[in-house]
Amino acid sequence: MECLFCKIVDGEIPSKKVYEDDLIFAFCDINPMAPVHILIIPKVHTASSMDEITPENSKYVARIFEKIPVIAKDAGLTGGYRVIANCGPDADQTVQHLHFHLLGGKKLSVQLG
């Protein structure tokens, strides 16, 4: 499989890791949309997008959301943050590996697209 995020988890592509455990991996986005922009992904390619979350793979999503507050605090996001998941081409999902964007570090706009 030629998945960019799988290659990052495997160490084939370098990244700035901010968190890792047995199920998930978090790293800084190379094209940040905010002062803090962290991507949080399952370490295994269990789903290409949110459309493929099932009872069998939902443990990865649960772990991600359990750890988001820890990752946000470690990143200094004391004033709040935003979590986004793009799903499909109309949402501009560019990597087909389930992932969540953690954004913060400034007052974020409420304006969408």
The yes-or-no verdict on residue 82 having pLDDT over 80 is yes
Angle at 85 between CA 83 and CA 91, to 5 degrees: 130
Residue 95 in contact with residue 76, Cβ under 8 Å?
A: no
| Mean pLDDT value across residues 8-25 | 97
* Band of pLDDT at residue 38, cut at 50, 70 and 90: very high
Q: In the chain, which residue ranges form alpha helices assigned H by DSSP? A: 4-9, 58-74
Q: What is the pLDDT of residues 56-68, one digit of tens each?
A: 999 999 999 999 9
* Band of pLDDT at residue 2, cut at 50, 70 and 90: confident
Task: Please give the residue that has the higher pLDDT: either 57 or 111.
Answer: 57
User: Whole-model pTM?
Assistant: 0.94
Residue 40 in contact with residue 8, Cβ under 8 Å?
A: no
- Position 109: which residue type? S
User: Which residues, in sequence order, are CB contacts of 38 under 8 Å at separation 6+?
Assistant: 18, 26, 27, 28, 29, 71, 75, 101, 102
The yes-or-no verdict on residue 81 having pLDDT over 80 is yes
Q: What is the pLDDT of residues 92-106, one digit of tens each?
A: 999 999 999 999 999
Catalytic residue selected from 37, 97, 99, 101: 99
The yes-or-no verdict on residue 45 having pLDDT over 60 is yes
Residue 61: φ, ψ to 5°: -65, -45
Sheet holding 36-42, edge to edge: 17-20, 24-28, 36-42, 100-104, 81-84
Q: Is position 99 annotated as part of the catalytic site?
A: yes
| Mean pLDDT value across residues 48-75 | 97
